[in-house]
Amino acid sequence: MFSCVRKVPHATATSAIAAAFVLGVGFCAFSAHAADSVEVSISIKDHKFDPSQVKVAAGTPVKLTVSNLDATAEEFESRALRVEKIVAGKSSAVIRLNPLAKGSYPFVGEYHEQTAVGVVIAE
């Protein structure tokens, strides 16, 4: 029984290696395309996006800054863009989009889905 317990540090080392491996893959996949991304800003006021329609060029990475002018937090959510990000009240958050195929990608403010609706149009 005791010998089993003593083996745990070995397991730690191996799982740490496994984790490092996973991390490694993650970081190997890093890309330097951030430099040529297009920057777009939108704001949230009274639980509405302004502008609610964001036009971007297809095939270009986008750095979308969402400024929340309301005092309340909002969650920028888009199934189509695969993004879910909380924007605290009176603050802003950056959302990074990989190059998009042509099309429209709706998004909502999850905490105020009735009013906070918008769309990214890649063309």
Partner 1 sequence: MLAALIIVFREVLEAGLIVGVVLAASRGVAGRGRAVALGVLAGVAGSIIVAAFATQISSAFDGRGLELFTAAVLLLAVVMLTWHVVWMADHARALTARLRELSDSVEAGAQSVIVLGIATATAVMREGSEVVLFLSSIMLQNVDTAAGVALGSAGGLALGAAVSAVIYFGLTAIPLRRVFAVTGLLVTLVAGGLASEAIHQLSNAGLIAPALDATLWNTSWLLSDDSLLGRGLRVLLGYRDRPTALEAIAYVMTIGGILLLSSQHLAAGRTATANTSA
Nearer of residues 51 and 89 to partner 1, judged by Cβ: 89
Selected from 41, 53, 91, 115, the binder of partner 1 by CB under 8 A is: 91
Nearer of residues 75 and 106 to partner 1, judged by Cβ: 75
| DSSP codes of every residue in 35-52 | GGPEEEEEEEETTEEESS
Nearer of residues 37 and 43 to partner 1, judged by Cβ: 37
Window 23-82: residues binding partner 1 (CB under 8 A): 23, 25-26, 29-31, 33-34, 37, 61, 63, 65, 71-75, 79, 82
Print burial letters for 46-67: b (CB count within 10 Å at least 16), e (below 16): ebebeeeebebeeeebbebebe
DSSP-derived secondary structure letter, 60 = S
- Please, is 120 exposed, middle or buried when counting C-beta atoms within 10 Å of its C-beta (0-12, 13-18, 19+)? buried
| Contacts to partner 1 by CB under 8 A | 1, 3-5, 7-12, 14-16, 18-19, 21-23, 25-26, 29-31, 33-34, 37, 61, 63, 65, 71-75, 79, 82-89, 91-99, 111
